[in-house]
């Protein structure tokens, strides 16, 4: 793609946000009124039951074919919604933001220019003046950001900010599933250099309508997701090294114990049948063998996955006809 290409696809997942639909679209069109490049808006209704999907469809008809709507059959989660948006995006650049009006779309033109001028593949928003509750949102987020940076080596101030701009050819190399949206910069680090990822300060507003879908309970899920992200970042293409290293370590410890017991049995002439060390040695050797076998199976599965076609885990119930979609072009 051209290094200075700036046609933009804006992807916004929404769930139970009916009161935010109209002000969100109005604010997006206001914020991009002076944007001098073609852009499109892709709105994904993640199986809302409050009428969000119907309201999105109505608003898309009012604004024109550059506003595209994807509606899931049921709630599949934010990660699946973002993946559906990435798949549908046609721009050389893709931007994401939340549908709760806390991100400011007016930051997007500046972020697009900054990403191109700095020659980045990902520009992450940083909510330095975050308008959220200190105890329930800010403190857990700060702890998580530092922990993620220390574990993964990808150091950013605000992983949780949904306001991001990507180069499409980079983000489309990644298939999102589970709850991977929390760690997109980590997954991007698997396909591009860390120096091609940057961050910039963005505006942040307090939520006006609707209810937040996140709480303190997600902290525990973040920790589990962080372990998975660390594994896939370091060993995603070579899981046999992960399981094999542990298997060799545990199996070698069992072998050393068994060797010592053989000396005790045949050199010192002592009985080893009732010694706890014998059972520990046998357990370690079996565990090592099992881990080595798991590593081999994981390698086979990884190669099968890379060789097979990809399949999404979400199901779309309805979406705007792609053939009739057009760009919003500068006046």
Helices 52-63 & 21-31 angle (0-180, nearest 10): 30
What sign results for the dihedral spanned by CA atoms 222, 226, 227, 232? positive
Q: Report helix, strand and coil shares of the chain as percent, to nearest 5.
A: 50, 15, 35
Residue 330 pLDDT more than 80? no
User: How does strand 93-96 pair with strand 197-201?
Assistant: unpaired
Q: How many angstroms separate the CA atoms of 218 and 105, rounded?
A: 26
Q: How many angstroms separate the CA atoms of 91 and 82, rounded?
A: 15
How far apart, in Å, do the first and last CA atoms of the chain sit? 25
In the sheet with 39-45, reading across from the earlier edge strand, the strands are 197-201, 122-126, 164-167, 93-96, 8-14, 39-45, 67-72, 316-319
pLDDT in tens, 251-296: 999 999 999 999 988 888 888 888 889 999 999 999 999 998 988 8
Share of the chain above pLDDT 70, in %: 82
pLDDT in tens, 38-69: 999 999 999 999 899 999 999 999 999 999 99
Q: How many angstroms separate the CA atoms of 319 and 239, rounded?
A: 38
Token duo for residue 77: 């989660």
Under the banding of pLDDT at 50, 70 and 90, the label for residue 190 is confident
Instruction: Flag whether the pTM goes above 0.95.
Output: no
pLDDT in tens, 90-99: 999 999 998 8
| Selection from 181, 203, 207 nearest residue 24 by Cα | 207
| Selection from 103, 319, 321 nearest residue 208 by Cα | 103
Q: Collapsing DSSP states into helix, strand and coil, what is residue 301?
A: helix
């Amino acid at each position: 793609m051209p290094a200075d290409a700036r046609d933009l696809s804006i992807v916004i997942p929404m769930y139970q946000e009916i009161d935010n639909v109209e002000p969100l679209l109005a604010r997006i069109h206001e914020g991009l009124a002076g944007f001098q490049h073609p852009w499109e808006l892709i709105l994904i209704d993640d199986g809302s039951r409050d009428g969000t999907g119907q309201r999105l469809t109505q608003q898309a008809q009012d604004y024109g074919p550059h506003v595209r709507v994807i509606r899931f059959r049921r709630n599949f989660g934010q990660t699946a919604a973002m993946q559906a948006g990435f798949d549908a995006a046609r721009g050389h650049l893709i931007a994401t933001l939340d549908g709760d009006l806390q991100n400011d779309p007016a930051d997007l033109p500046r972020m697009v220019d900054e990403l191109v001028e700095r020659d980045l593949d990902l520009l992450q928003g940083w909510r330095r003046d975050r308008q959220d509750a200190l105890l329930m949102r800010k403190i857990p987020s700060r702890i998580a950001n530092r922990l993620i940076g220390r574990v993964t080596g990808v150091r950013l101030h605000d992983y949780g900010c949904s306001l991001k701009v990507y180069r499409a050819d980079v983000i489309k190399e990644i298939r999102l599933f589970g709850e991977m949206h929390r760690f997109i910069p980590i997954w991007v680090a698997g396909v591009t250099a860390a120096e091609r990822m940057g961050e910039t300060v963005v505006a942040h507003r307090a939520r006006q309508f609707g209810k937040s879908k996140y709480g303190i309970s997600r902290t525990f899920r973040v920790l589990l997701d962080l372990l998975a992200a660390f594994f896939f970042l370091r060993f995603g293409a070579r899981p046999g090294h992960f399981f094999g290293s542990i298997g060799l370590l545990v199996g070698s410890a069992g072998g050393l114990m068994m060797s010592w017991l053989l000396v005790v049995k045949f050199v010192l002439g002592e009985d080893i049948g009732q010694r706890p060390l014998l059972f520990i040695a046998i357990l370690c050797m079996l565990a090592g063998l099992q881990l080595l076998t798991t590593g081999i199976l994981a390698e086979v599965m990884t190669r099968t996955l890379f060789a097979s076609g990809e399949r999404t885990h979400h199901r779309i119930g309805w979406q705007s006809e792609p053939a009739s979609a057009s760009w919003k072009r500068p006046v």
